[in-house]
């Protein structure tokens, strides 16, 4: 693969403190769940972002239709800001883009963000577009693979936007602990990256060298994201880290072996911080030192789990890594995706 990441951008809505949102909303929301306070305290999150701040408005009773209308209203300016920042970082104009891909699992509209943002940003009318929908937290990596293939085949720049607004899916209070966990972790963000042909890049220099995927359909019920009358509802089994432990070693081995590398050769690990236990499992299974996951821990603490946008935030933290970088993310399926990025 010869596509090079040359620009990155982000847009973050209002920041809320974890302790404040617990005391001001979720302590009452989950007053009947004894473990809820412990879950929030142990989530590894200090602050996160929300377009629908529970301290200002309780949308847990909103219909899905109302939430989708709000999604479009909030996602458009955030997506525009993130894409514009990424193009500026790469030194490109919107008219230079040949493919615009959007990954999201938290909102739907037709015409979608891809059409509306392309028009608003001034991308060309002959632009090719791709919507990566409902894949969840790992969607950024298959998105990177798709835009990378386009760049390599067409020798034109491409943009990937990941826009996730999980705060629009606060659920009514229930006793199920997986709902408490989801509400303790998830956050909102829009992140974007630009990929260009290897010979044309002007900004960041990191080549997308390979992508590996692994899906274990026998555990499909461990992580779900269901459309209900009251927004989208997450199902999250405590067995997810155990499944991840069984597969992450083989995925990384396949990714690195294909490039003639070993774990010791990797200079940066951009691991999707699905939660503290996820990061612990990856560390222990791969034999990494705790400091090698510092970027992922930092993103979890300062931004929460922003679904597909998160791994791109971690990659930004590792922009100065001197050597190969591995990006990994996990989600429904259960699915693991990993990408290798090499200095270009």
**Catalytic residue positions, numbered:** 137
The answer to whether 232 and 169 have CB atoms below 8 angstroms apart is yes
Q: What interhelical angle do 140-154 and 310-317 show, nearest 10? A: 70
Distance from C-alpha of 100 to C-alpha of 231, rounded to nearest angstrom = 27
Task: Kindly provide the residue ranges of all beta strands, DSSP E only, lying in the chain, ordered along the sequence.
Answer: 3-11, 15-17, 47-49, 99-104, 128-133, 158-165, 188-197, 206-215, 223-228, 231-236, 268-271, 325-331, 335-343
Distance from C-alpha of 116 to C-alpha of 104, rounded to nearest angstrom = 14
Give the helix/strand (H/E) hosting 72.
helix 64-90
Distance from C-alpha of 18 to C-alpha of 301, rounded to nearest angstrom = 9
Distance from C-alpha of 12 to C-alpha of 93, rounded to nearest angstrom = 22
The answer to whether 240 and 278 have CB atoms below 8 angstroms apart is yes
The answer to whether 160 and 98 have CB atoms below 8 angstroms apart is no
The answer to whether 22 and 47 have CB atoms below 8 angstroms apart is no
């Amino acid at each position: 693969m010869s596509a090079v990441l040359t620009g990155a951008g982000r847009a973050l809505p209002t920041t809320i403190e974890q302790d404040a949102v617990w005391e001001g909303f979720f302590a009452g929301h989950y007053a009947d769940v004894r473990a809820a306070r412990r879950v929030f305290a142990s989530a590894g999150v200090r602050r996160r972002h929300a377009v629908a701040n529970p301290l200002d408005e309780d949308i847990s009773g909103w219909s899905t239709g109302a939430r989708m209308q709000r999604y479009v209203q909030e996602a458009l300016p955030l997506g525009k800001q993130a894409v514009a920042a990424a193009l500026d970082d790469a030194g490109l104009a919107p008219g230079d883009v040949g493919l615009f891909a959007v990954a999201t699992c938290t909102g739907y509209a037709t015409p979608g963000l891809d059409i509306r943002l392309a028009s608003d940003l001034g991308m060309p009318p002959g632009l090719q577009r791709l919507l990566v929908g409902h894949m969840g937290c790992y969607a950024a990596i298959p998105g990177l693979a798709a835009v990378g293939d386009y760049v390599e085949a067409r020798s034109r720049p491409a943009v990937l936007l990941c826009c996730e607004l999980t705060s629009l899916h606060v659920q009514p209070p229930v006793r199920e602990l997986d709902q408490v966990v989801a509400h303790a972790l998830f956050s909102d963000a829009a992140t974007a990256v630009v990929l260009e042909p290897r010979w044309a890049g002007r900004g960041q220099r990191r080549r997308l060298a390979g992508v590996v995927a692994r899906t274990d359909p026998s555990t499909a019920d461990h992580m779900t994201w269901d459309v209900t009358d009251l927004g989208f509802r997450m199902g999250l089994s405590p067995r997810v880290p155990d499944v991840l432990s069984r597969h992450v070693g083989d995925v990384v081995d396949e990714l690195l072996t294909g490039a003639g590398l070993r774990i010791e050769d990797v200079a940066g690990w951009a691991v999707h911080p699905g939660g503290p236990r996820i990061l612990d499992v990856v560390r222990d299974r791969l034999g990494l030192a705790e400091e090698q996951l510092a970027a992922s821990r930092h993103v979890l603490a300062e931004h929460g789990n922003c679904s597909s946008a998160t791994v791109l935030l971690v990659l930004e933290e590792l922009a100065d890594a001197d050597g190969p970088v591995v990006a990994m993310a996990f989600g429904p399926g259960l699915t693991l995706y990993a990408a290798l990025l090499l200095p270009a």
